[in-house]
Amino acid sequence: MLDHPLNSLGFAKPPSETRVVVAMSGGVDSSVVAAQLKEEGYDVVGVTLQLYDHGAALAKKGACCAGRDIHDARRVAETMGFPHYVLDYENTFREAVIEEFADAYLAGATPVPCIRCNERVKFKDLLATAKDLEADCMATGHYIQRMQGAAGPELHCAADANRDQSYFLFSTTPEQLDYLRFPLGHLASKAETRALASKYGLPVADKPDSQDICFVPNGNYAAVIEKLRPGAAEPGEIVDLEGRVLGTHRGVIHYTIGQRKGLGIGGLGDPVYVVRLDPDSRRVIVGPKEALSTRIVPVREVNWLGDTPFDSRAEWHVNVKVRSTRPPRPAVIRPISATEAEVELLNPEDGVSAGQACVFYAPEGSRILGGGWIWRGR
């Protein structure tokens, strides 16, 4: 008997014998993935996670995994004729994502909970559930590409740089990457995704994209943190780099590194920016723009996706992103251990903040080499 040619998901068997769990948020991207795979003949199972219930958040338009989104995912499954399940992961999500989000802000950091959600919930617990369902793989609607390399699957940026989600997926491990599929990563634009949604007659074809963190109604981080940590918004002093008191603030949690507006300390002549947060003394430290400039960035919890061990070299010459909205810039990574390193930015950047990710990219091409979490260092 001849071997069957590889199907579009990379398996040597017919699509009808290939089970794929699709992580469905209720948005247009994951809905198109599920519909396309179903049309191609795959054995599709849709799974949506109920992640939170924060009252106002459930009524918030554009937030993923809220009540409306679960309903939308179910409607897509009914339209395309595949089974759909809703799993209650509220406790897991709260412990793995929301609690750390609150604690990070209280510690003066600027967290990225969407990365932790992918790392600790979707690509961990949900992936395990997919395996329990005897699925051959799990597919998502993320804009990123998985390509087969000489040493195994590689993670690559999306074809559409405007939709690329590599910054939020750097912590995907090689083992997870082996099991995951990203069918939208090769599309040239979001317009193509919406065109596919219309082609399949999906009820979410014109649904707006989610913009904010799903459990933060109206983008009000401080309100969520105060709810989770009563008394977190303790007032304190705004001081300059020499420690001179310039004014008062209403809680460190209301400020982020690089912030200029809303400080309430006019009349200083030159503009000042938040350059450091000291939650222990409840102080917000401000200074001139040049004080924001950072060249050395300590990172830990490094996830390395290169072909040879991270600490097998003294230096890696790569490009890095220190914020999701910035382009990759040249840098040198000096490993301290397999999971910790010092990153030297060849051109200093402003507003580098603890709690953000530093994502590593190959200096040429589209490959993502991993990344780590920025911290204050020792």
DSSP result, 256-282:
-TT--TT------SS--EEEEEETTTT
pLDDT at 86: 94
**And the tokens for 30?**
């994951």
Any idea which of 67-76, 193-202, 310-319, 367-376 has the lowest mean pLDDT?
Answer: 67-76
From the candidates 64, 65, 214, 358, give the one annotated as an active-site residue. Answer: 214
Model confidence at 61: pLDDT above 60:
no
pLDDT at 21: 98
Start-end of CATH 2.40.30.10 domains in the chain:
292-372
Note whether 129 and 47 are within 8 A (CB).
Answer: yes
Start-end of CATH 2.30.30.280 domains in the chain:
232-286
Find the radius of gyration of the CA atoms of the chain: 22
pLDDT at 233: 82
Model confidence at 205: pLDDT above 70:
yes
Q: When comparing pLDDT for 216 and 327, which is higher?
A: 327
**232-286: what fold?**
SH3 type barrels. (2.30.30)
The whole-model pTM stands at 0.90
Whether 117 is catalytic is yes
Q: At what angle do helices 190-199 and 28-39 cross, to 10 degrees?
A: 50
From the candidates 64, 114, 117, 157, give the one annotated as an active-site residue. Answer: 117
Task: Determine if residue 141 is labeled as part of a ligand binding site.
Answer: yes
Strands lying side by side in the sheet with 43-50: 84-88, 43-50, 19-23, 137-139, 180-181
Task: Determine if residue 292 is labeled as part of a ligand binding site.
Answer: no
pLDDT at 144: 98
Check whether domain 292-372 has CATH 2.40.30.10, yes or no: yes
pLDDT at 377: 60
Q: Assign 2 a pLDDT band (cuts: 50, 70, 90).
A: low
Task: Determine if residue 166 is labeled as part of a ligand binding site.
Answer: no
Task: Determine if residue 24 is labeled as part of a ligand binding site.
Answer: yes
CB neighbour list of residue 370: distance below 8 Å, 6 or more residues apart: 170, 171, 302, 303, 304, 305, 306, 310, 359, 360
Task: Determine if residue 30 is labeled as part of a ligand binding site.
Answer: yes
Start-end of CATH 3.40.50.620 domains in the chain:
13-198
CA distance 322 to 308: 23
Task: Determine if residue 25 is labeled as part of a ligand binding site.
Answer: yes
Q: When comparing pLDDT for 204 and 108, which is higher?
A: 204
**Helix, strand or coil, per DSSP, at residue 143:** coil
Task: Determine if residue 366 is labeled as part of a ligand binding site.
Answer: no
Q: How far apart are the first and last CA of the chain?
A: 62
Model confidence at 208: pLDDT above 80:
yes
Model confidence at 211: pLDDT above 80:
no
Task: Determine if residue 126 is labeled as part of a ligand binding site.
Answer: no
pLDDT at 119: 92
Question: What's the whole-number mean pLDDT along residues 193-206?
Answer: 94
Task: Determine if residue 377 is labeled as part of a ligand binding site.
Answer: no
User: In the CATH scheme, what is the homologous superfamily, with its name and number, of domain 13-198?
Assistant: HUPs (3.40.50.620)
CA distance 304 to 194: 34
CA distance 27 to 60: 14
pLDDT at 53: 65
b (16+ CB within 10 A) / e for 354-377: bbbbbbbbbeeebbbbbbbbbbee
pLDDT tens digit sequence for 336-347: 999 999 999 999
